[in-house]
């Protein structure tokens, strides 16, 4: 394509068009790797993948925790640490059981005849949350309550550590739920160890009632009354879990204690109930006059920018310090066309130049249309109008050879037009003929 543009500007009689194809380097043959070669290169990665898989499988086998036990005391969890069994039996007995993970959900479901079970091993609820809980529940069952929960729900009850001994313990009190249970087993089983941290309670100067004594003044269940609300402190969550509800009288205690009212809200506090605390922001640490001063300084800076700023003036034409010859520009543009295979763009450049020169030879203005130029040239040279229009407009070169032929035909048409206008002017055209 470079040779095409050079010939179009050097003249139709110049040589070199035929030699460009012979000087073109031969295309290299692409060689793709075989399946065996690709397999050999992939062997290290395959070995590493197998090792990683073996390590993962061994870790799962030795840890013994390939299956997730689920959320402890969740009413939808059928696993050993879940509480689905107790919740389903309560529903069969006519108790409406709602599950809640935020205090707002408890407030939505609580009525005047509601028992709220709260199990908060992560201490997501603060004292204000327990106070709010006391205002909406008729009876509160706190499972494995911590220090914050005992201080808010049962101020006269203290934690007394893990239950002593092993095996079931007798009720030892007159509470109806405890009497119906008879004996309970508050100790976690092998399937629930780690999911629960059982504890006992010690009674202080309070009118609370303790049941299921496991040691000296240590009780697994305490009933207290706070602000007119009945509060049960249950020291072992395994009593309500699927794996522990069937032992001794655990199920009887759970059903009688949680089924006292028509509605039961099973509340497992989440991170959404945790109070949002943190260090003060920058506005709280800075004096009040800092913000107005900063705004004033910004306004002063903007005003100074408009006052001292300068606009760009008009563009100035400046001669380049180098001289670029027309031949170098032509060759560089031709190489760009050749590199991008822009044959149509190169053909358009050739035709635009030829149309301008043909218009001048035919005595037409530069604003003449291509159709007018083609008609005028056909009339001057006596050639077919359709063939001239195809040469000047319609023909699209598909190869470099067709582009070279187009250049030669345009040059020949210019010579024929010049000869028709002035028979003595049969020399070179205005295309920088050599």
Task: Spell out the domain ranges in the chain.
Answer: 84-273, 329-434
Query: How many Cβ atoms sit within 10 Å of the Cβ of residue 369?
Result: 11
* Among the listed residues 171, 111, 167, the one whose alpha carbon sits nearest the alpha carbon of residue 139: 111
What pLDDT band is residue 296 in, cutting at 50, 70 and 90? very high
Q: pLDDT digit string (tens) for 204-257? A: 867 889 999 987 888 999 999 988 889 999 999 999 999 888 888 999 999 999
Cα(122)–Cα(309) distance, rounded to whole angstroms? 61
Q: What pLDDT score does 241 carry?
A: 94
Q: pLDDT digit string (tens) for 358-402? A: 888 888 888 888 888 888 888 888 888 888 888 888 888 888 888
Query: How many Cβ atoms sit within 10 Å of the Cβ of residue 11?
Result: 15
Cα(231)–Cα(223) distance, rounded to whole angstroms? 6
Cα(198)–Cα(414) distance, rounded to whole angstroms? 106
Q: What pLDDT score does 9 carry?
A: 46
Q: pLDDT digit string (tens) for 106-164? A: 999 998 889 999 999 998 999 899 999 998 898 999 999 999 899 999 988 999 888 88
What pLDDT band is residue 18 in, cutting at 50, 70 and 90? very low
pTM (two decimals): 0.52
Contacts of 228 (CB under 8 A, 6+ apart): none
């Amino acid at each position: 394509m470079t040779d095409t543009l050079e010939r179009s500007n050097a003249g139709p009689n110049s040589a070199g068009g035929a030699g460009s194809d012979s000087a073109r380097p031969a295309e290299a043959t692409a060689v793709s790797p075989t399946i065996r070669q690709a397999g050999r290169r992939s062997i290290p990665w395959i070995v590493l993948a197998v090792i990683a898989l073996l390590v993962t499988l061994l870790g799962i086998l030795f840890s013994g925790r390939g299956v997730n036990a689920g959320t402890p005391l969740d009413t939808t969890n059928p696993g050993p640490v879940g509480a689905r069994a107790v919740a389903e039996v309560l529903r069969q007995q006519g108790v409406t059981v709602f599950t809640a993970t935020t205090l707002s959900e408890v407030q939505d479901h609580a009525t005047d005849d509601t028992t709220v079970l709260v199990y908060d091993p992560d201490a997501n609820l603060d004292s204000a949350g327990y106070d709010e809980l006391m205002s909406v529940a008729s009876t509160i069952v706190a499972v494995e309550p911590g220090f914050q929960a005992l201080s808010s729900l049962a101020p006269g009850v203290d934690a007394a550590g893990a239950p002593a001994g092993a095996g079931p313990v007798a009720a030892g009190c007159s509470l109806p739920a405890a009497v119906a249970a008879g004996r309970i087993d508050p100790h976690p089983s092998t399937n629930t160890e780690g999911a629960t941290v059982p504890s006992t309670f010690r009674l202080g100067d309070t009118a609370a009632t303790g049941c299921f004594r496991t040691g000296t003044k240590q009780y697994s269940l305490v009933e207290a009354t706070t602000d007119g609300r009945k509060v049960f402190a249950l020291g072992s969550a395994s009593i309500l879990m699927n794996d522990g509800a069937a032992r001794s009288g655990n199920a009887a205690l759970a059903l009688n204690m949680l089924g006292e009212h028509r509605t039961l809200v099973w509340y497992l506090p989440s991170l959404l109930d945790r109070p949002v605390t943190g260090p003060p922001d920058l506005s709280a640490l800075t004096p009040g006059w800092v913000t107005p001063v900063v705004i004033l300084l910004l306004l002063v800076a903007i005003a100074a920018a408009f006052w001292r700023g300068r606009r760009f003036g008009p563009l100035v034409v400046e001669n380049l310090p180098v001289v670029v010859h027309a031949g170098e520009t032509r060759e560089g543009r031709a190489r760009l066309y050749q590199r991008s295979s822009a044959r149509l763009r190169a053909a358009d450049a050739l035709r635009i130049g030829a149309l301008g020169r043909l218009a001048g030879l035919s005595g037409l203005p530069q604003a003449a249309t291509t159709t007018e130029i083609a008609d005028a040239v056909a009339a001057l040279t006596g050639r077919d109008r359709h063939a001239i229009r195809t040469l000047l407009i319609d023909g699209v070169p598909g190869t470099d050879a067709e582009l070279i032929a187009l250049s030669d035909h345009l040059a020949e048409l210019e010579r024929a037009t010049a000869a028709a206008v002035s028979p003595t002017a049969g020399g070179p055209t205005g295309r920088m003929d050599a």
